[in-house]
Structure 1
Amino acid sequence: MSLFSSVKEALTAEPSAKSRPDDGSEGAYWCDDCDVRVRDVDLEGEATCPDCGEEMRFERSSGRSCAC
């Protein structure tokens, strides 16, 4: 396989398994004071920051390429 073929295959390949998981997540909760992020599917109970105990705000994910 030539270098050109390798580059072409990499550029035209479908997204890898590193795409956003399809586990029902709608977004994440953020603590603006501590910069802590907790995905909604990982949260148990109230949306409070595990570091400072303040209420966290919800931010909805926006597409498959989101870092959430």
Structure 2
Amino acid sequence: MDAEIRDVDYGSAHEAAQNVCSGVHELIPTDLHDLVHDAVMAGYASALRDLEAGKLDDQVRERATFLD
């Protein structure tokens, strides 16, 4: 997987992938563990970039109203 993960996002993305993968580790074939881990890291890092760029502001505000 050729996803660019910024150094600043790497730690958070890795931790997120560890958390997600720990729940599915035994359910997926061993040869897919690294692929799933890398895919979760890439998705999480992409979401962090989108948040930083403000691309998800409306969605965050909308969901925040549910907490009120």
- The structure with the greater share of residues assigned to helix is 2
Greater RCO, 1 or 2 (C-alpha within 8 Å, sep 6+): 2
Q: Report TM bin, short chain.
A: under 0.3
Instruction: Using structure 2 for the length normalisation, give the TM-score.
Output: 0.23
Bigger Rg, which one = 1
